[in-house]
Amino acid sequence: MTTNITIIGAGNMGRGIAHVAARAGSAITIVTRTPEEGAALVSELQAAFPHIAVQAATLETPVTGDVVVLATWYTAAQELATQLRDQLAGKVVVDISNPLTADYSGLALSGTTSAAEELARLIPDAHVVKAFNTTFAGTLVAGQVAGLPLDVLIAGDDVAAKTVLMNLVNAGGLRGIDAGPLERARQLEGLGFLGIQLQSSQGTNFASSWKFLN
Ligand SMILES: NC(=O)c1ccc[n+]([C@@H]2O[C@H](COP(=O)([O-])OP(=O)(O)OC[C@H]3O[C@@H](n4cnc5c(N)ncnc54)[C@H](OP(=O)(O)O)[C@@H]3O)[C@@H](O)[C@H]2O)c1
C-alpha cells in the first residue's frame, strides 16, 4: 500500500524524513512557508527518486495525506496544530520534536507531560504518534549508522496509527520499534535530549544513533 505523506517543514528533519518516505515508495507533499524552500527539496527528491510522486505546497493549500509530519520546532508544531486542527482530524500526525529550552540546556517540558502529549491535547481528533525525535537528520538520509539500520522508537495510543508509521519506517529501510503509549514520549524526549548532549562530549557530530540490541 502506498502511503501519502505530508511533511510540514523542509529543514534538516523534513529532508531526512522525506528521504525515508521516498525509499518507502510513499507519495510525498512538502509544505513550507516559502515556496522556494519547498521547491528545492522537491527537486532534490525528484532527482534522487524519479519514480516517486513528490509535490510542493504551501500552508494555504488544504492538508492532504494519511500521515502528516510536523517537521518544525515544537512551539511551531503547536501553532500549526492549532491552526490546522480541523484538517488534521482523523490523520496520523507525527510529532518529532525535542522541546529544548532556549539555551539548549534542558527540556522545557518534562516530568508529567511531553511535547507529544501537549500536541495531542490540541488536536484531539488526530492520532498523534511520537517518532524520529531520537534519530538525527543526516542519519535518516543515510538510513544507517555503522552498517546497521536506524532504530526509530515510536510511541502512540492509537495502534492503527502506529502500525501505519511502523510500516512506512520499515519500508524505508529503518527498524521501527513500538515504544508503547504516547506517555512514553516523556522518556523518548529525554533520550533525544541526552543524544544531543552526547554529540559534543563524544565528538560524533550528529552522526550517531541509539540502537536496541538483544
Ligand atoms: N535536526 C535533527 O537532527 C533533529 C533530530 C531529532 C529531532 N529533531 C527535532 O525536529 C524538529 C525540527 O528540527 P530541524 O533540525 O529540522 O529544524 P530546522 O532545520 O530549523 O527546520 C525547521 C523547519 O520548520 C519550519 N517552520 C518553522 N516555523 C514554521 C511554521 N510556523 N510553519 C511552518 N513551518 C515552519 C522552518 O521553515 P522556515 O525556513 O520558513 O523557517 C524549517 O523548514 C525540532 O523539533 C527538533 O527538536 C531534530
pLDDT tens sequence across 111-136: 899 999 999 999 999 999 999 999 99
Here the cell at position 47 is 532527482
Q: Quick one: which of 65, 71, 18 has its CA closest to 45?
A: 18
- Measured in whole angstroms, the distance separating CA 91 from the mean position of its chain's CA atoms is 14
Cα 124 to Cα 99: distance, rounded to the nearest angstrom = 20
Using CB atoms within 10 A of its CB, is residue 153 exposed (0-12), middle (13-18) or buried (19+)?
buried
Say what percent of the chain tops pLDDT 90: 96
Phi and psi for 98 in degrees, rounded to 5? -115, 110
Nearest CA to ligand 1 atom 28: 76
95-116 average pLDDT score: 94
92-99 average pLDDT score: 98
Would you state the pLDDT for residue 1? 56
Average pLDDT along the chain: 96
Would you state the pLDDT for residue 110? 83
Say how many Å lie between the CA of residue 213 and the centre of ligand 1.
Answer: 30
Cell 500526525, residue? 93
Indicate if ligand 1 lies below 6 Å from the C-beta of 12: yes
- CA end-to-end span of the chain, whole Å? 30
Say how many Å lie between the CA of residue 189 and the centre of ligand 1.
Answer: 16
**Considering the entire predicted model, what is its pTM?**
0.98
Please say if the pLDDT value at position 191 is more than 90. yes
Cβ atoms of 152 and 172 within 8 Å: the answer is no
Mutate to test the pocket of ligand 1, among 72, 98, 139, 209 (most ligand atoms within 8 A of CB): 72
Q: How many residues in total does the chain contain?
A: 214
Indicate if ligand 1 lies below 6 Å from the C-beta of 13: yes
Indicate if ligand 1 lies below 6 Å from the C-beta of 121: no
Cell 527528491, residue? 45
